[in-house]
């Protein structure tokens, strides 16, 4: 019997894996429904209503300016103390120009597929990466804690082959879930753009960009799943991976961020893992250090120092993490006694 097919069936029969996957898909569905309900198609009626609200707010600003100017003139005529409330010349209090209030500010939220779908790919990746990490950890962790791994090695004593076959089955199952979900995700947001927004200017180049972002997302999901699998195998228990992840988030991220902020370290975000995940998905993230102020004009404009993190930096970090976690799991599997 093929070990790979056996592991695929074993993965499919794990109730925790099925329920966790279903939970992740339900969360994706809730996101889709939420965005559908909170966006609207912009038509002539919405444009007219926005124009009416803009005109109404402009008239309110005009009335306020007139009232303040009258109050300023009365205060100056009576000789009352102004305490800096009014300018030296009441003529300076004037209503804003009509173009200062734009009708687009009052338009309801609408979904622009071309501008917004890329961000939804990042959300899709984050949700399935979490699902993959937890499922990967529980899949091999349960094998160790239940004694299933020891029984399997009596049948197939090739330790590394067994572990890598389990990983291959896990990634295959992940791919079988992710690809159809990605297709439905894309179709769902295209429908939202059609019914509750716009799909204009979605050219072949835009689709190519979305496809590349999706491939990077798939790679990130696979890396997160493999690291969860490797950590659980390394500790021979699911809690090893989950506890390590919680410790990394709570201590290594929040704690480190607080300490670095209190120390006045520039570009604190450069030390946090989510920044590199975002840089991987968006190709580039620009960090700003507002503690520095470089004046570039006589008006005193402040331009902060910047630091760019690219997908290449993220690729190095992901590769190092993957190699260290999986390499340690393989070495441990090879050297330690199975008991």
> Mean pLDDT over all residues of the chain?
82
Could you tell me which residue, 297 or 50, shows the higher pLDDT?
50
| Cα distance between residue 141 and residue 45, in whole Å | 58
pLDDT of 81-120, one tens digit each? 556 677 777 777 777 787 778 877 777 788 999 989 999 9
Beta carbons within 8 Å of 42's beta carbon, 6+ residues apart:
107, 108, 110, 197, 198
What is the structure's pLDDT at 45? 81
Distances (CA, A) of 93 to 64, 66, 98: 10, 8, 15
Tell me, rounded to whole angstroms, the distance of Cα 37 from its chain centroid.
21
Specify which of 4-13, 182-191, 289-298 reaches the highest per-range mean pLDDT: 182-191
pLDDT of 192-249, one tens digit each? 999 988 898 899 999 999 999 999 999 999 999 999 898 888 877 666 666 666 666 6
What is the structure's pLDDT at 11? 84
pLDDT of 263-311, one tens digit each? 667 777 788 888 899 999 999 988 877 666 654 544 456 677 788 899 9
Distances (CA, A) of 182 to 171, 195, 289, 316: 16, 20, 36, 26
What is the structure's pLDDT at 17? 86
Query: Is 306:287 a contact under the CB 8 Å cutoff?
Result: yes
What is the structure's pLDDT at 298? 42
Query: Whole-model pTM?
Result: 0.80
What average pLDDT score do residues 308-322 get?
92
């Amino acid at each position: 019997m093929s070990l790979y097919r056996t592991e695929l069936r074993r993965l499919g029969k794990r109730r925790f894996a099925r329920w966790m996957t279903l939970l992740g898909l339900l969360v994706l569905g809730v996101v889709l429904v939420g965005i559908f309900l909170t966006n609207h198609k912009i038509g002539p009626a919405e444009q007219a209503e926005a124009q009416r609200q803009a005109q109404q707010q402009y008239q309110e600003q005009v009335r306020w300016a007139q009232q303040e100017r009258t109050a300023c003139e009365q205060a100056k005529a009576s000789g009352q103390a102004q305490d800096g409330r009014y300018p030296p010349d009441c003529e300076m209090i004037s209503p804003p120009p009509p173009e200062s209030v734009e009708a687009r500010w009052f338009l309801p939220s609408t979904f622009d597929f071309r501008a917004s779908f890329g961000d939804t790919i990042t959300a899709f990746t984050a949700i399935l990466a979490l699902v993959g990490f937890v499922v990967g950890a529980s899949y091999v962790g349960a094998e160790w804690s239940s004694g299933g791994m020891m029984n399997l090695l009596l049948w197939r004593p090739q330790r590394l082959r067994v572990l890598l076959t389990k990983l291959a089955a896990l990634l295959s199952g992940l791919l079988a879930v992710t690809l159809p979900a990605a297709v439905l995700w894309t179709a769902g947001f295209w429908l939202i753009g059609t019914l509750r927004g716009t799909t204009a200017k979605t050219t072949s180049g835009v689709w190519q960009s979305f496809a590349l972002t999706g491939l990077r997302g798939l790679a990130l999901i696979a890396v997160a799943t493999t690291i969860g699998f490797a950590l659980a195998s390394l500790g021979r228990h699911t809690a090893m991976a989950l506890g390590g992840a919680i410790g990394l988030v709570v201590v290594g991220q929040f704690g480190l961020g607080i300490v670095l902020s209190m120390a006045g370290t520039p570009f604190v975000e450069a030390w946090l893992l989510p920044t590199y995940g975002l840089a991987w998905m968006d190709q580039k993230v620009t960090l700003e250090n507002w503690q520095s102020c470089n004046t570039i004009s006589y008006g005193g404009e402040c331009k902060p120092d910047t630091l760019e993190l690219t997908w290449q930096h993220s690729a190095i970090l992901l590769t190092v993490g993957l190699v260290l976690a999986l390499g340690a799991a393989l070495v441990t599997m090879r050297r330690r006694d199975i008991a």
